[in-house]
Amino acid sequence: MDLKNFYFKMKLKTNPIIDDTTLRDGIQMPGLAVDPEDAAKIVELLSEAGVERVEIFHYQKPDKKAAKLILGMGLNIRVAGWCRANKEDIDSAVECGFQEVGISHPVSYIHFKAKWPDKTPEQLLEKVVNVVEYAAKTCGLRTFVHGEDSTRADWEFEKKFINAVAEAGAECYRICDTVGIGLSDPKAPLPNGIPAKVKAVKKETKIRSIEIHAHDDFGNAVENTMAAIKAASGVWDTIYASTTFLGIGERAGNAETEKVLMNLYMHYGVKKFEGKTQKLKHIAEFISQATGYVVPPNKAIVGDYGFAHESGIHTHGVLNDPWTYEPYPPELVGNTRRITIGKHSGKSVIKHKIMEITGKTPDSEALTAVVEKVREIYENGRKASLREEEFKAILKELKII
């Protein structure tokens, strides 16, 4: 079946740019770390997959070493240093050799009261403006400003904030759905209506471009990222999507780079990802090895079980026509179809597995013996699927191999 029957039919009137923050927000996930050499390799792989911008830390010695390695590779990818709103962070970014920075600062009164109870919003805004001017005008850096907790911010203040940083030299404003309460519904009002925010920023501010950074506390990070991109269509020339590979990050994590990329390519026909999606599974495996993050086997697109089939109905369908239970060929994302033997496996899949291993069609007596042996294993309390070597052991015991 032709993929074009179901995909590539929607179009966007905006240029979506994936701005991967795996090496900033991603590695803030408890228990994760990455060494400089692996960080450089991750950026190289992301570039090969069509990611156009990444942001990274640059405070500790390993971070600075990673930045030097990455910037020295000559990759076709923009690399930004993540900064707090102080001049020392900008100086650190300049020292590392970054050409652009992202300056993060809260925009909600919730954060203001908790972090700076003795300062007024106007005083905080003045501080941010001074740092943005220093980065953009004094140091000549391309400057993004990240509006932390944008989806709980007072719009009148946030609008003033955006216009002030735009005047100070900021190129892009990042809508940060910091606690994941954003709503994708076009009818949802400000402050947490994502489409409404994307359109309001265009209509009521002077900033040149927009970005969405969605957290997954409600499980809606990808949905909200795509909602922002769709809302930008016909409104903004460019929209950046801040994502992390595998969705790693603080608390419940972020929108997954691989999911946003595949949605953009398959559903919206974003051609710049064509021929690059095959890298996705390999990137997931490398990031897992480099950071210590264990990829859930049923993770969409890149999980080991993403194209695994066990139950009789599913395997029978897939063996006759993969389209019955697969949305696209696993090879498209560098994954592999797996036919597993488990509690729900029937004769047809067991027969297929025997043929796969032996290269021969089993006679009915041999097939029945294997089916009965598998059933016996699960009647005795086995829950997990049989590993390849376990199934081969059954075949050896029954003298089939």
Q: Which residue has the tokens 């090969």?
A: 48
DSSP state of 183: B
Query: What is the spatial distance between Cα 398 and Cα 392, in angstroms, rounded to a whole number?
Result: 10
Same domain, 71 and 142: yes
Q: What is the pLDDT of residue 313?
A: 81
Q: Domain for residue 212, yes or no?
A: yes
Give 254-318 as a DSSP string. Answer: B-BHHHHHHIIIIIT--GGGTTTGGGHHHHHHHHHHHH-PPPPTT-TTTSTTTTEE-SHHHHHHH
Q: Within 13 Å of residue 142, how many CA atoms lie on the same side as its CB?
A: 13
Same domain, 187 and 326: no
Same domain, 14 and 80: yes
pTM, two decimal places = 0.95
Q: Domain for residue 37, yes or no?
A: yes
Query: What is the spatial distance between Cα 318 and Cα 261, in angstroms, rounded to a whole number?
Result: 26
Same domain, 225 and 336: no
**Structure tokens that stand for 325 in this block:** 């239970």
Q: Domain for residue 14, yes or no?
A: yes
Same domain, 285 and 335: no
**Is 344 strand, coil or helix?**
coil
List the CATH number of the domain containing 202. 3.20.20.70
Domain boundary among 291, 322, 356: 291
Task: Give strand pairing partners of 209.
Answer: 172
Q: What is the pLDDT of residue 244?
A: 98
Same domain, 314 and 281: no
Query: What is the spatial distance between Cα 225 and Cα 248, in angstroms, rounded to a whole number?
Result: 15
Nearest C-alpha neighbor of 59 from the set 96, 28, 27 = 96
Same domain, 271 and 337: no
Domain boundary among 261, 291, 321: 291
Query: What is the spatial distance between Cα 212 and Cα 89, in angstroms, rounded to a whole number?
Result: 23
Query: What is the spatial distance between Cα 343 and Cα 91, in angstroms, rounded to a whole number?
Result: 60
Same domain, 272 and 318: no
Same domain, 33 and 139: yes
Q: Domain for residue 300, yes or no?
A: no
Q: Which residue has the tokens 């907790």?
A: 149
Return the ∠ at Cα 22 (arms to 16 and 27), rounded to 5°.
155
Query: What is the spatial distance between Cα 356 and Cα 194, in angstroms, rounded to a whole number?
Result: 49
Query: What is the spatial distance between Cα 231 and Cα 239, in angstroms, rounded to a whole number?
Result: 10
Which residues are within 8 A (CB) of 223 and not within 5 positions of it... i.e. 6 or more apart?
184
pLDDT values of the chain reduced to their tens digit, one per residue, 401 residues: 799 999 999 999 999 999 999 999 999 999 999 999 999 999 999 999 999 999 999 999 999 999 999 999 999 999 999 999 999 999 999 999 999 999 999 999 999 999 999 999 999 999 999 999 999 999 999 999 999 999 999 999 999 999 999 999 999 999 999 999 999 999 999 999 999 999 999 999 999 999 999 999 999 999 999 999 999 999 999 999 999 999 999 999 999 999 999 999 999 999 999 999 999 999 999 999 999 999 999 999 999 999 998 877 888 899 889 999 999 999 999 999 998 999 989 898 999 999 999 999 999 999 999 999 999 999 999 999 999 999 999 999 999 99
Q: What is the pLDDT of residue 315?
A: 84
Q: Domain for residue 155, yes or no?
A: yes
* Phi, psi (rounded to 5 degrees) for 288: -60, -50
Task: Please state the domain count of the chain.
Answer: 2
Same domain, 264 and 329: no
Peptide bond into 195 cis (omega under 30): no
Q: Cβ of 376: how many Cβ atoms within 10 Å?
A: 11
The distance of Cα 124 from the centroid of its chain, to the nearest Å, equals 32
Q: Within 13 Å of residue 351, how many CA atoms lie on the same side as its CB?
A: 14
Same domain, 276 and 318: no
Q: Domain for residue 296, yes or no?
A: no
Domain boundary among 258, 291, 324: 291
Asked if 311 and 344 touch (Cβ cutoff 8 Å), the reply is yes
Query: What is the spatial distance between Cα 290 and Cα 287, in angstroms, rounded to a whole number?
Result: 5
Q: Domain for residue 302, yes or no?
A: no
Domain of residue 321: give its range: 308-397
Same domain, 321 and 275: no
Q: Domain for residue 43, yes or no?
A: yes
Q: Positive or negative, the Cα torsion across 287, 248, 54, 28? A: negative
